[in-house]
Copies of this chain bind each other. A is one copy, B any other.
């Protein structure tokens, strides 16, 4: 007995300890929801419903949307279509609705949402085991539900959240059925069966990693979680393989997984090397997985990783928008995408909650007028309700590129009233979505493009246009240098348009200085785009009372070891109002060139400058006048072009440009000023200030080839004189040179005076 009692007691103590241990160690992992929503969070939200307007409003909208979908029944068709087609759009809708239905179940405690979610998931689980690869063979990584793994990953990132929300509603058998038939094979398909998709440094892989990681966290599957965080070991991979966008799939000895994707494409400033359009796209999986990790693995301190790069990157992304909130279209980017996108709603909410509750984020959230239906959205709604919002003011700012911040960057100059915005690009290539446009820029006035970057050649999700995918003109036009506002040598794109070469190099920042009260300056050099040619562009935003609006001064210097043709295009919008030179008009239009994008440009007009002159072109766009003034020499040419040649499917916009051409030049400098002036009102029909204030631009000879000098002379005879030291960018260095035989002295890399 004693032994028996002892044994029994031991056994009971054992069970008790086991139970304690289970509670202590397992409970956080087992009591659902615990991925994005948490038990405590949900309780907190439920208590406050009805008293937090933005949250309540979002909830009403989401409920209406989901209720309507539930009424329409369950639709899980056999996958068949490309993006824009029915099955694609339907499965996409499913992931959106499932995630929301899960939330509604938790917040409203109405089982119909859990039942619906379960029923849809069962349909997927029924279909998945026998599902072949998607019939469309267009992707380097074909999915099963969609034509590419990327979309399959999207699905799982969202659906994991839905599963977490109804996890406790299901019994063990129901969960086993779903996990065995759907979630585990799904996660393995995205990773083990598609290493070329999963194991990269690329936004695709981020989605893949996070998909696997999220479902891993829900199922508490440590193997999947590790795979997501640290990637897979792969042997015998062909490292020369490229993806659909022409990017390398897997470089040798490269790290992979979520952490690697945080390490490498993000600079310490939070700039994502592919550019803001894809940063926006990747932001959702980055932030949502970070939130999940913070909930389930707080010991990773994910939001502190790399000095808080995730929170920084949200701030960076918001700064990479124009006055309307549209992202600057750097690299492959569809215009019109903005901080109103759902990814940015998530990013702003999560950054607010896990960052320092920065009150300026509430300004963006208020504009977005929508929040996440979780703790983060709750805290944003409360912040807004409590009037904590302060303006999110976007100023001139620079972002470094490269994982260590030493691979060039992006410089943004904004005028004092924020109506003029210049973006200059001197970054690294930007992976497979990069364009060949070193030292390019775009320029905005009141959110309108004064000088545009073309963006991508693609109609995302419009099925008729190549299934919504990239068009071949993306490669033949949009990525080429001539499609951008930057210099082209001998009608060849930078790095000869070769990804392998372009990926090796980045431009070098030279100056970014906004300390002068009237003059902001950004300057960078590029020495690898063309062999034996050095390029150096300096852009200055001058705000002087002598001009109605800011002046953009553009100094593009090239130094080569042989004579070449150099072209500098400016892609404007609008109607030419006046020029101070005559130009030739053609009876028939021909393409400007044969390759590197030149084959897509019709040459509309041409002029050959006969002697040194300030050539001027005035145009009207959106009821404002602009003048480009450029210092030209004999034999320089100005070409008026329009996109559209060799475009048999009308895939390109018919946009115009001015191209300034210096034929057979070795060393020279394009000196150009873009001036905003005047307005036109079609209702009063009053034209104000329709002419340029600039009389002349002059080159100013210095006694030293380390310096570039130029002058802008206005019609009221003010002279603005500039000197730039091109070989020393130190702020403290003292310079003294002779300018037109007069000595001048100054400190720092540039000199400016007005008289």
A691 touches which of B464, B465, B649, B650 (Cβ 8 Å):
B464
Q: Is the CB of B464 within 8 A of A683?
A: no
- By the criterion CB–CB under 8 Å, are B459 and A577 in contact? yes
A461 within 8 A of B: yes
A684 at the interface (CB under 8 A from B): yes
Mark interface residues in A684-700 (1 if CB within 8 Å of B CB, else 0): 11110011000000000
- The answer to whether B338 and A683 have CB atoms under 8 Å apart is yes
> Cβ of B683 and Cβ of A576 under 8 Å apart?
no
Decide: A462 near B589, CB < 8 A? Known: A650-B575, A682-B337.
Answer: no
In the bound complex, what is the Cα–Cα distance between A602 and B587 (angstroms)?
A: 10
Is A585 interfacial (CB-CB < 8 Å)? yes
Residue interface bits A168-194, CB-to-B below 8 A is 1, else 0: 000000000000000000000000000
Q: Which of A323-366 contact B (CB under 8 A)?
A: 334-338, 340-342
Tell me if A751 counts as interface (CB < 8 A to partner B): no
Contacts of A334 in B (CB 8 A): 682, 685
CB closest residue in chain B, given A623: B336
Given A464-B577, A589-B588, A682-B337: A654 and B656 within 8 A (CB)?
yes
Residue of B nearest to A625 (CB): B462
Q: In the complex, how many residues of chain A place their beta carbon closer than 8 angstroms to a beta carbon of chain B?
A: 52
Q: How far is the CA of A504 from the CA of B653 in the complex (A)?
A: 43
Q: Chain B residues with Cβ under 8 A from A462's Cβ?
A: 577, 620, 680, 687, 690
Q: Chain B residues with Cβ under 8 A from A656's Cβ?
A: 654
Tell me the residues in window 568-585 of chain A with beta carbons closer than 8 Å to chain B beta carbons: 575-578, 585
- Residues 450-476 of A, flagged 1 when their CB comes within 8 A of B and 0 if not, give 000000000111111100100000000
Q: Are B463 and A684 in contact (CB under 8 A)?
A: no
Interface code A606-634, partner B: CB below 8 Å = 1, 0 otherwise? Answer: 00000000000010100000000000000
* Complex-state Cα separation, A654 to B461, whole angstroms: 28
Residues of B within 8 A of A589 (CB): 588-589, 602
Mostly, the A contact residues are loop
Residue of B nearest to A653 (CB): B575
Per-position contact with B for A676-720: 1 when CB-CB < 8 Å, else 0? 000010111111001100000000000000000000000000000
Residue numbers in B under 8 Å from A84 (CB-CB): 687, 690
A644 at the interface (CB under 8 A from B): yes
A398 within 8 A of B: no
Given contacts A589-B589, A690-B84, contact A341 B654 (CB under 8 A): no
Asked if B337 contacts A683 (CB within 8 A), the reply is yes
Given A646-B585, A684-B341, answer yes or no on A465-B654 (Cβ-Cβ < 8 Å): no
CB distance from A656 to the nearest CB of B (A): 7
Q: Please name all residues of chain B whose beta carbon is closer than 8 Å to the beta carbon of A642 when the two chains form the complex.
A: 644, 654
Annotate A534-578 by CB proximity to B: 1 below 8 A, 0 otherwise.
Answer: 000000000000000000000000000000000000000001111
Contact across chains for B585 and A588 when beta carbons are under 8 A apart: no
Select one of B341, B590, B644, B685 contacting A588, CB under 8 A.
B590
Chain B hits for A648, CB < 8 A? 585
Given contacts A336-B682, A648-B585, A682-B335, contact A464 B618 (CB under 8 A): yes
Please, which residue of chain B has its CB at the minimum distance from the CB of A691? B464
A675 interface contact, C-beta 8 A: no
- Does A274 sit within 8 A of B, measured CB to CB? no
Check A526 for interface membership: any CB of B closer than 8 A.
Answer: no
Closest B residue to A604 by beta carbon equals B644
Q: Are B340 and A683 in contact (CB under 8 A)?
A: yes
A711 to B543, CA, bound (A): 64
Q: Is the CB of B576 within 8 A of A650?
A: yes
- In the assembled complex, how far is the CB of residue A247 from the closest CB belonging to chain B, in whole angstroms? 21
- The contact of A460 among B646, B650, B685, by CB within 8 Å, is B685
Q: A residues within 8 Å of B by Cβ?
A: 84, 89, 334-338, 340-342, 459-465, 468, 575-578, 585, 587-591, 602, 604, 618, 620, 640, 642, 644, 646-650, 653-654, 656, 680, 682-687, 690-691
19 A-B contact pairs sorted by A residue (CB < 8 Å): A84-B690, A334-B682, A336-B683, A337-B685, A342-B684, A459-B577, A459-B620, A460-B685, A461-B687, A462-B680, A463-B687, A575-B650, A576-B650, A585-B646, A585-B648, A587-B590, A587-B591, A588-B589, A642-B654
Other than the given A459-B575, A576-B649, 13 more pairs (CB < 8 A) read: A89-B686, A336-B683, A341-B684, A342-B684, A461-B686, A461-B687, A462-B690, A464-B690, A576-B650, A585-B647, A588-B589, A589-B589, A604-B644
